[in-house]
Structure 1
Amino acid sequence: MFNERKAAQMAAYLLHKRGGTMSHLKLMKLLYLADREAMDRYGAPISGDLLVAMPHGPALSNTLNHMDGDVESSPGGWTDWISDQADYELMLRNPVSVEDLDELSEAELDVLDAVWEQFGSMGRWALRDYTHTHCPEWEDPRGSSNPIPYYRVFRALGRSLQDARALSDRIESHAKLDRLFAAL
């Protein structure tokens, strides 16, 4: 299940690595690639967000809503960590250290570091183009948006159909349990 605070801390960590500011598009691509890398390594995304195909490539649905200011942030959530700037730039609200990132495990930070190491020097348009050509789970939604099922990501990562379905079912089961307990 989507964890707003965790997604905000993922974004804050990447913004910190970039010096505090980054384009909206680049940050979204890095966050998507981090969730994808976590799925490859550990069988589950970091953010728990819904994956969607957008015209500019794959994205994290709820995180995008927070980036765009389309939803209200909860206490300790997105707007406590990230602020919006002009021209589709995002900025850290306050300096952060690893100790501040209480939602992220060492393994998750390792994934973010690996994604930064591989893609951090790329510009936003190069990253967009990369996800169009190297993330086969993305299919052009022709100006709209379409869900990207987790099993399709696992298949694109080379998992067998059986493994992809089992991993996807596990993520969905955990999300259902999270929703059940959140409702109590």
Structure 2
Amino acid sequence: MSHLKLIKLMYLADRLSMERYDAPMSDDAQYSMKNGPILSNTLNLLRGITRDEVWSDLISPVDHNQVQLNRDFDWDELDELSRGELVILDEVFARFGRMKRWELVNYTHTLPEWVDPGASCIPIDAAVTFQALGSSEELARDKSATLAARRRLGQKLSEMS
């Protein structure tokens, strides 16, 4: 699969999780880039900028813009994912999996939270995404603040370990 397609599918899964559960699945930083929204740490894993043993055990490095599974795996190995998250992954793939990478880029360019950053990148404001998903402006700000607090707590906890 194209790494561009994979990053778009993963972003769309995070977005659907935000719609259903008020939080993205990956808790990764979301950015607008010229080819649409991305998950920052995930893109760094795909590009080999960041290394992770679990990721590299399952996903190949990008080769000619393509990635593949390094090995077969059992779904039970993905015990970090809840049943609801697995359902989201299935739904996103059922809806968008047949699209080609540039079709996904074009689709994600229609999402209200994506802003054309030119040659740069711009953080996506979670409040804008929540509003696009149907929350009022006030509720979207509250949900966004809760996410930011959760991320700060996660960072503090990881610093302690």
Q: Tell me, yes or no, whether TM beats 0.5.
A: yes
CA offset digits 1:100-145 (Å, max 9, x no partner):
1111100000111110111011111101101112x11001001111
The corresponding residue for 2:2 is 23
* C-alpha RMSD of matched pairs (Å): 1.0
The corresponding residue for 2:12 is 33
The corresponding residue for 1:139 is 115
Question: Structure 1-normalised TM-score?
Answer: 0.84
- Greater share of strand: 1
| 1:54 is aligned to 2:33 | yes
Match of 1:119 among 85, 93, 96: 96
| 1:101 is aligned to 2:78 | yes
Equivalent residue letter for 2:61: D
CA-CA distance at 1:85 after TM superposition = 4.7
Please, which runs of 5 or more residues in structure 2 have no aligned partner? Answer: none
- For residues 65 and 170 of structure 1, the distance between their equivalents in structure 2, rounded to whole angstroms, comes to 25
CA-CA distance at 1:94 after TM superposition = 1.0
Q: What is the aligned length?
A: 160
Equivalent residue letter for 1:45: P
- For residues 163 and 80 of structure 1, the distance between their equivalents in structure 2, rounded to whole angstroms, comes to 40
- For residues 71 and 98 of structure 2, the distance between their equivalents in structure 1, rounded to whole angstroms, comes to 23
The corresponding residue for 2:69 is 92
Equivalent residue letter for 2:154: D
Please, which runs of 5 or more residues in structure 1 have no aligned partner? Answer: 1-21
Equivalent residue letter for 1:171: L
Equivalent residue letter for 1:99: D
- For residues 175 and 59 of structure 1, the distance between their equivalents in structure 2, rounded to whole angstroms, comes to 18
Does the residue aligned with 1:102 lie in a helix, a strand or coil? Answer: coil
Query: Aligned pair in 2 of structure 1 residues 50, 85: CA closer, same or farther (>3 Å)?
Result: closer
Question: Runs of 4 or more off by more than 3 Å in structure 1?
Answer: none
| 1:149 is aligned to 2:125 | yes
- For residues 40 and 130 of structure 1, the distance between their equivalents in structure 2, rounded to whole angstroms, comes to 18
